[in-house]
């Protein structure tokens, strides 16, 4: 498998042009790119949020409570258009296991919905609680941050030691415990350089029980070094590389990743994960975090929405729905609204047509301002044709290319500024 260079090959040039034309023609009917979000109000000022660590040093204290709260809707919630999705599904009846550092049973945004396996109800690091919040946090005291599936239940499972260090054995034990406790969806935060027979068997046993296993495609980033100039070599990480596991990569608000970010050989989905806002194990404040484990949390939340609204789907069918409904890209980008609402092949149900004379509305416009129908429909038809052609060329390549997006100009998406 050849490595992708920074220069686009000729086919990539054509695909890039097709995508640009498609987006231009389809404006108003298709979901926007991840970086196209509504601007904050003029009087909103960025809030400096503490960074959520992936692990702690042996002599470090537990992560302290944040004194800051996000004051506006985080970019990732707008990018995923969650407010459009929630009227159709809220995750009720679905249990999502978080295999991580634990999940605090006292986190107010998850109050009454966390069941812990063993000591996993205590979370010294806070990372597992952060991920669980992305999956299912409810709004508290009017704050505008929320998880994807606010009625889903969380199963807290330790996949690391108390400080956040993971091994193949600890992750395998976590997956096995989550399966035995009846999880419908398992999100695995650790991404290991090496797997093991025990880890393989734990995943296979979960899949055999119709559990959807979702995993970070790469490890969360350590502290960045200015001396780190070499381009990372794509490689497999476990359990994400195992067949049957839904592998998830992180992107920032522009749909990109830093130049020195770790790379998988392949990934199934991309989701917000760079500079995302979340909760902690203590207090009611917010943190900011970056890594594929957070992107996997968003996909797990979307999986809960799908399994709640379509209870007849198997875990494999849920995974297929998430990937086939995703926004087309070299690594398709998560689209919870489409995953929940798309009409499956063979289903004769159709969405109700607009009433004669009804205004056509932009799908991401909260104010639902009317637009010109004739222009919109003509553009949508041409754009959809381009999209189908482009997707047919791109999607089969998604798992066979070593994807490397362009570097993000002017920053790496990991600052402590949250909204």
Spatial separation of the C-alpha atoms in residues 135 and 127, rounded to whole Å? 13
Q: Where are the domains of the chain?
A: 47-223+231-342+396-418
Cis peptide leading into residue 239 (ω within 30°): yes
For 198, the enclosing helix (H) or strand (E) is helix 197-208
Asked whether the beta carbons of 62 and 125 are under 8 A apart, the reply is: yes
pLDDT at 357: 35
pLDDT at 33: 31
Phi first, then psi, for residue 289 (nearest 5°) are -145, 160
Asked whether the beta carbons of 36 and 30 are under 8 A apart, the reply is: no
pLDDT at 258: 84
This model's pTM is above 0.85: no
For 5, the enclosing helix (H) or strand (E) is none
Spatial separation of the C-alpha atoms in residues 319 and 247, rounded to whole Å? 10
For 21, the enclosing helix (H) or strand (E) is helix 10-26
Phi first, then psi, for residue 250 (nearest 5°) are -95, 145
Asked whether the beta carbons of 191 and 294 are under 8 A apart, the reply is: no
Asked whether the beta carbons of 382 and 25 are under 8 A apart, the reply is: yes
- Tens-level pLDDT at each residue, the chain (419 residues): 333 333 333 333 333 333 433 333 333 333 333 332 233 333 355 678 999 999 999 889 999 999 999 888 999 999 999 999 999 999 999 999 999 999 999 999 999 999 999 999 999 999 999 999 999 999 887 788 999 999 999 999 999 999 999 999 999 999 999 999 999 999 999 999 999 999 999 999 999 999 999 999 999 998 444 445 577 899 999 999 999 999 999 999 999 998 889 999 999 999 999 999 999 999 999 999 999 999 999 999 999 999 999 999 999 999 999 999 999 998 999 999 999 999 866 443 333 333 333 322 222 333 322 222 232 333 344 444 444 444 444 444 344 333 333 333 333 333 344 43
Distances (CA, A) of 162 to 58, 124, 215, 370: 10, 6, 20, 53
Spatial separation of the C-alpha atoms in residues 336 and 307, rounded to whole Å? 12
Asked whether the beta carbons of 233 and 263 are under 8 A apart, the reply is: yes
Give 294's contacts (C-beta < 8 A, 6+ positions apart): 130, 131, 134, 220, 250, 272, 273, 276, 278
pLDDT at 224: 46
Spatial separation of the C-alpha atoms in residues 352 and 366, rounded to whole Å? 21
Spatial separation of the C-alpha atoms in residues 175 and 117, rounded to whole Å? 11
What superfamily does domain 47-223+231-342+396-418 belong to in CATH?
A: Peptidase S8/S53 domain (3.40.50.200)
Using CA atoms in the order 97, 102, 105, 106, what is the torsion angle rounded to 10 degrees?
Answer: -140
CA angle centred on 318, ends 349 and 190, rounded to 5°: 155
pLDDT at 360: 26
């Amino acid at each position: 498998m050849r490595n992708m260079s920074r220069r686009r090959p000729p086919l990539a040039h054509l695909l890039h042009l097709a995508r640009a034309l498609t987006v231009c023609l389809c404006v108003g009917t298709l979901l926007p790119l991840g970086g196209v979000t509504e601007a904050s109000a003029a009087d909103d000022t960025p809030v400096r949020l503490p960074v959520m660590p992936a692990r702690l040093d042996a002599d470090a204290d537990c992560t302290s409570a944040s004194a800051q709260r996000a004051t506006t809707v985080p970019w990732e919630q707008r990018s995923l258009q969650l407010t459009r999705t929630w009227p159709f599904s809220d995750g009720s009846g679905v249990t999502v296991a978080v295999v991580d550092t634990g999940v605090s049973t006292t986190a107010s945004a998850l109050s009454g919905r966390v069941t812990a396996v063993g000591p996993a109800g205590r979370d010294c690091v806070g990372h597992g609680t952060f991920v669980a919040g992305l999956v299912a946090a409810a709004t508290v005291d009017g704050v505008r941050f929320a998880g994807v599936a606010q009625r889903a239940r969380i199963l807290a499972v330790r996949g690391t030691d108390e400080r956040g260090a993971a091994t193949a054995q600890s992750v395998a034990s976590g997956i096995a415990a989550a399966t035995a406790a009846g999880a419908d969806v398992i999100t695995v935060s650790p991404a290991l350089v090496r797997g093991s027979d025990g880890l393989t068997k734990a995943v296979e046993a979960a899949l055999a029980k119709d559990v959807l296993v979702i995993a970070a495609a790469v490890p969360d980033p350590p502290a960045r070094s200015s001396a780190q100039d070499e381009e990372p070599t794509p490689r497999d990480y476990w359990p994400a590389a195992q067949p049957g596991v839904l592998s998830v990569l992180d992107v920032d608000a522009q749909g990109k990743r830093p130049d020195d970010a770790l790379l998988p050989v392949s990934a199934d989905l991309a989701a917000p994960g760079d500079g995302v806002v979340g909760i902690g194990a203590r207090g009611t404040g917010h943190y900011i975090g970056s890594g594929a484990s957070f992107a996997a949390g968003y996909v797990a939340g979307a999986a809960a929405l799908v399994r709640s609204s379509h209870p007849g789907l198997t875990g494999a069918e849920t995974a297929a729905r998430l990937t086939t409904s995703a926004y087309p890209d070299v690594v398709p980008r998560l689209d919870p609204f489409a995953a929940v609402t798309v009409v499956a092949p063979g289903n004769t149900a159709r969405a109700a047509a607009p009433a004669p004379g009804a205004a056509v509305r932009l799908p991401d416009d909260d104010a639902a301002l009317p637009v010109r129908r004739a222009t919109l429909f003509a553009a949508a038809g041409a754009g959809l044709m381009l999209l189908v052609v482009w997707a047919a060329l791109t999607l089969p390549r998604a798992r066979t290319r070593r994807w490397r997006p362009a570097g993000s100009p002017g920053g790496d998406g990991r600052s402590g500024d949250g909204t």
